[in-house]
Amino acid sequence: MNRYRYEAYKKLYRSRSGMILGVCKGFATFTGINVLWVRILTIVIFIFSGFWPLIPVYCICALLIKPEPAVDVTSDDESEFYESYVSSRTLALQRLKKHFDNLDRRIQRMEDVVTRRDYTWEEKMKE
């Protein structure tokens, strides 16, 4: 895939292949920093903050940051669908159902035209 196209749709996501909930790897991917440095910084903050302040912050980040898409997002429509799916699966499924119902109606109209008695295949094939 073209890297330029991917950069246009790059957002902050939790990584699916991260060590602990994917927060550090997701942040590293988003900022372009090596994940090793982000993890080292997280551990240093964890040790020097007295352990407890960072644990709730990390857990809240894990809950609030959406997981990365399983397939790379390459267009505005795909990005919009993924965002709606992650925030509300019911709305995303309703959107898909509406889209497929629309396609089904279009196919039914095409079938009605083609199966009419006055439809002449010979004329349509000559065109």
pLDDT in tens, 14-43: 887 778 888 888 888 888 889 899 999 988
- Count the neighbouring beta carbons within 10 Å of the beta carbon of residue 69: 18
Q: How far is Cα 47 from Cα 41, in angstroms, rounded to an integer?
A: 10
- Count the neighbouring beta carbons within 10 Å of the beta carbon of residue 27: 22
Asked whether residue 80 falls in the same domain as residue 66, the answer is no
Query: What per-residue confidence (pLDDT) applies to 40?
Result: 92
Query: What per-residue confidence (pLDDT) applies to 15?
Result: 81
Range of the domain at 81: 75-116
Q: 């035209």: which residue's tokens?
A: 113
Query: What per-residue confidence (pLDDT) applies to 1?
Result: 41
Please give the tally of structural domains in the chain: 2
Asked whether residue 69 falls in the same domain as residue 106, the answer is no
pTM score above 0.85:
no
pLDDT in tens, 50-61: 777 888 888 888
Query: What per-residue confidence (pLDDT) applies to 2?
Result: 42
Query: What per-residue confidence (pLDDT) applies to 68?
Result: 77
pLDDT band at 127 (very low <50, low <70, confident <90, very high): low
Asked whether residue 102 falls in the same domain as residue 83, the answer is yes
Asked whether residue 81 falls in the same domain as residue 103, the answer is yes
Query: What per-residue confidence (pLDDT) applies to 106?
Result: 92
Asked whether residue 111 falls in the same domain as residue 54, the answer is no
**87 belongs to a structural domain:** yes
pLDDT in tens, 77-104: 777 777 776 767 677 778 778 888 999 9
